[in-house]
Amino acid sequence: MINQEAVDNFLCSLDPNLDIDDHLRNAERDAKIYRWNGNTLRQIIKGIKQAYVKNFSKKGKPELTAFDIYIRNKLKRQKDREDQEMLDQMLVELKEKHEKERQNQIAYLNSELKKIGV
């Protein structure tokens, strides 16, 4: 299980003045100190690599700081969760509407059956 609080705290503290190797060493050191499991450390390493490897311009300078990238990714995940919540709510409403229409149809058919004496 990933300790998401540890991941968030570590990635928020990335210093753009340090290089990727420094952050990887710090992550490994902190993992030992705080006894993070392998999944937590792997998630932190993934975040470090995303912040540094994927976001360097051709000049070798970061286009965004690690913190900016982390916040951008976190906001994107939050938006994805909000979108999923909205879709879940729409599904609930659709199911409720379908059930109401089904109940109305059953009531109509029962009234028709009563009219013909069944």
Q: How does pLDDT run across 30-53, given as a tens digit for each residue? A: 999 999 999 999 999 988 888 776
Measured CA distances, 26 to 3, 11, 32, 45, 77 (Å)? 17, 11, 10, 10, 25
Total domains present in the chain = 1
Q: Is the pLDDT of residue 58 over 50?
A: no
Domain carrying residue 65: 4-116
pLDDT classification of 65: cutoffs 50, 70, 90: low
pLDDT the model gives residue 118: 77
User: In the chain, what percentage of residues exceed pLDDT 70?
Assistant: 87
What is the C-alpha separation between 85 and 74, in angstroms, rounded? 16
Q: Which of 17, 96, 8, 12 is nearest to 61 (CA)?
A: 17
Cβ atoms of residues 50 and 73 within 8 Å: yes
